[in-house]
Copies of this chain bind each other. A is one copy, B any other.
Amino acid sequence: MVHNFSAGPSILPQEVLNEASEAIKNFDNLNLSLIEISHRSKNFVAVMDEAVALVKKLLKLPEGYSVIFLQGGASLQFTMLAQNLMKNNAGRAAYLDTGVWANKAIKEAKLFGEVEVVGSSADKNYNFIPKGYATPTNVDYFHCTSNNTIFGTQMHAFPKVEAPLVCDMSSDIFCREMDYTQFDLIYAGAQKNMGPAGATLVIVKDEILGKSGRVIPTMLDYTTHIKKESMFNTPPVFAVYVSMLTLRWLDKNGGLSWIEARNRKKADLIYNEIDRNSLFFGTAEKEDRSLMNATFLLKDEAAHKEAFDKMWKEAGISGLNGHRDVGGYRASIYNAMPVESVQVLVDVLKDFEQKHA
């Protein structure tokens, strides 16, 4: 068995993979593959409808929110959201700078208006979430990134702002219970907690749209996809289908309260061991630690790296190497990761200390 700690694309529930594999051969007993039927067939429309309904149910979204599935990843959202929300004349937005992806979002927004960075943790290599910043009132929206995979930090509270609150939840969507109505626009690439790469979830409060006064290319206009229920053009059929299966798995098992409890158990397991173990240390500030990505380093890399790498690989662990911006190790423990796999990693850490401390 492989214990898959990949940062993304990442682990999905085994039953979802089995069902997806079958659907490639024979979908809905049509004797046709899921990927060779019309996206406008009643069979696929039912998939899209169920995916949208599950998102609304799991996040407890009231009337007035639209849920769409797009393509292009969060990276395309960086420009789409700015084009849709930033006023055409003297547009202005506030961004919280919590890492590499927040920076990419800031760069794209600057093409469409003025960007005020209200807080940044760049000076400490993004090992914490800025707090106590002033939230400007005269902006078209406020943008933040809820989880920073590279740096292992996560926002555990969100600012109260007068402007629409926009959040990139690519790496922690569906990981916890929260009041999701505090957000006006949520977007997330599928490939961490939702499904395979190739679909992007966008949740938008309808009332914030249509106010920019900007001419937007059809495919980049949220209203295009809302009006056509994500079928303006051919959607990424397979990625939407597997996302739907994953959401169904989440719902069936107990939804966000169930997954949050499981995620906290996994996070406690790994963080407690990192803090206890004399050979390792965590890189993120404790109060801002991520439920999804635990980043840690060896205290003496020169002495121990080779032996530790050998040990975790022999234990069947994969994808544990950290991002080059932080180095060391990153245990990505997304929704689908079982507690048992985290325990295997914890056991390796303990065992390594016993042999090498």
Binding site for B on A (CB under 8 A): 1-2, 4, 6-12, 17-18, 20-22, 24-25, 30-33, 35-39, 71-76, 78-79, 104, 107-108, 111, 189, 191, 195-199, 215, 217-220, 232-239, 242, 318-319
The A interface, classified by DSSP as helix, strand, loop or mixed, is: loop
Tell me the number of copies of this protein. 2
Q: Are A198 and B71 in contact (CB under 8 A)?
A: yes
Q: Which of chain B's residues have a CB closer than 8 A to the CB of A232?
A: 75
Q: Are A217 and B6 in contact (CB under 8 A)?
A: no
Q: Which of chain B's residues have a CB closer than 8 A to the CB of A11?
A: 36
With the chains together, A24 CA to B12 CA distance in Å? 11
Q: Are A12 and B33 in contact (CB under 8 A)?
A: yes
Q: How far is the CB of A242 from chain B (nearest CB, A)?
A: 7
Q: Are A196 and B17 in contact (CB under 8 A)?
A: no
> What 4 A-B pairs come out closest when comparing CB atoms?
A198-B236, A79-B217, A35-B196, A71-B71
Q: Are A196 and B73 in contact (CB under 8 A)?
A: no
Q: Are B25 and A234 in contact (CB under 8 A)?
A: no
Q: Are A9 and B31 in contact (CB under 8 A)?
A: no
Q: Are B237 and A197 in contact (CB under 8 A)?
A: yes
Q: How far is the CB of A247 from chain B (nearest CB, A)?
A: 15
Q: How far is the CB of A207 from chain B (nearest CB, A)?
A: 25
Q: Which of chain B's residues have a CB closer than 8 A to the CB of A31?
A: 1-2
Q: Are A35 and B12 in contact (CB under 8 A)?
A: yes
Q: Are A242 and B12 in contact (CB under 8 A)?
A: no
Q: A78-B219, A219-B78, A238-B198 are in contact. Are A9 and B25 (CB under 8 A)?
A: no
